[in-house]
Amino acid sequence: MKLPPQLAGLPQPIYFFDGYCVLCSGFVNFCLKHDGDGLLRFASTQSVLGQHVAQTLGLPFGTLDRTILLIEDDQAFLQSTAALRSLRHLRGWPRWLQPLSAIPAFVRDPVYDLVARNRYRWFGHRPSCHLPTPQTRDRFIDL
């Protein structure tokens, strides 16, 4: 979806994730490790910014508790599309997964939803929101 003018000032690309989810935080750490150019920025969906973005995009309350969001090129991408698009900023073998985006979202997203519904049970959750290391702190927005 096209980004509304109210969100035009956001740094891009920015990846919103569930900061309590072990799987989601693990994916952020994976991105940090493989994003050699340091282009991706991150914010938790629980942050004030995350809630503001969800509301501005008109997403139902709680949507970002079960989905990720990538804002890039003045567009907002959700679910599996957000995850796959984020791979284009990474170096090395993760880029090999990009062809999965050729699979239509109506096929990918039910798999995404299954994992999202069960992620706490399968992977666990943190008692507090994900905290970056001092070396990666500048990549996180609104902690």
Tens digit of each residue's pLDDT (9 = 90 or more) over 116-134: 889 889 988 877 777 788 8
Number of domains observed in the structure of the chain: 1
Residues of the chain with pLDDT under 70: 61-62, 64-65, 143
The parent domain of residue 129 ranges over 5-135
Record the tokens describing residue 93, joined without a space: 């073998």
What is the rounded distance in angstroms from the CA atom of residue 101 to the CA atom of residue 85?
8
Amino acid 134: pLDDT: 81
The b/e string for 102-134 (b: 16+ C-beta within 10 A; e otherwise) is eeeeeebbeebeeebeebeeeeeeeeeebebee
Question: Is 116 a domain residue?
Answer: yes
Taking the C-alpha atoms of residue 49 and residue 30, their distance in angstroms, rounded to an integer, is 23
Q: 143 lies in a domain?
A: no
* Mean pLDDT across the chain: 87
DSSP H/E element including 3: none
> Is position 101 within any domain?
yes
Q: What is the pTM of this model?
A: 0.88
